[in-house]
Amino acid sequence: AQTVTQSQPEMSVQEAETVTLSCTYDTSDNNYYLFWYKQPPSRQMILVIRQEAYKQQNATENRFSVNFQKAAKSFSLKISDSQLGDTAMYFCAWGGAAGNKLTFGGGTRVLVKP
Amino acid sequence: NAGVTQTPKFRVLKTGQSMTLLCAQDMNHEYMYWYRQDPGMGLRLIHYSVGEGTTAKGEVPDGYNVSRLKKQNFLLGLESAAPSQTSVYFCASSAGQSYNEQFFGPGTRLTVL
């Protein structure tokens, strides 16, 4: 079974600074998809960014970018110019190319301090 | 569009009671999912459906049943609630396979005493 590990339970960052969240996964598949979801205090899950494993170029969405290292099975999320609204739980998730399910990591709580 | 809605938002049960959680989506999605969220464990898949009339087991299906009689609705049932089922339950839907974004409901906080 696929596993997704987020080794940092909590992180804090000053407003306007940069924070990087780590995620590693275990799979024997060659083609798959990786996601970062954000869960603010409202509890609503929101997709932040998505990466396709067959694309070497790292995905970016405004202030959010990933560092995808396929050989190392690593998928980190960088939040640049952190804003108070970035305070949330962040979940890394893996989905197989031929499947229809996601496997989530345990989450990292990010606190942005003013 | 309301997206994905869940009913109820909060519920307290006594051990042994039963209840049904309702999920509804208005995006005409084929795929629907039920997850539970527990501290430090992320979201774990309970059951899912790939279309009207179909259901399949996820990672933690024991103690739960589901039904998908209509494409827009996905029901999660607890026949005999146990304290271990105290959790936050999320429903999600997507247009297709895993590369598609999953859209989540607001969650249901369930406490079993």
pLDDT in tens, chain A (114 residues): 689 999 999 999 999 999 999 999 999 988 899 999 999 999 999 999 999 998 888 999 999 999 999 999 999 999 999 999 999 999 999 998 777 789 999 999 999 999
Assign B85 to helix, strand or coil: helix
The closest CB to that of B42, out of A47, A52, A105, belongs to A105
Q: What are phi and psi of B56, to 5 degrees?
A: -150, 155
Q: How many helices (H) and strands (E) does chain B have?
A: 0, 11
Q: Which residues contact B89 (CB under 8 A, 6 or more apart)?
A: B6, B21, B34, B35, B36, B37, B46, B76, B107, B108, B110
Work out the minimum CA distance from A13 to partner chain B, whole angstroms. Answer: 21
Q: Distance between CA atoms of A48 and A63, rounded to whole angstroms?
A: 10
A109 has a chain B CB within 8 A of its CB: no
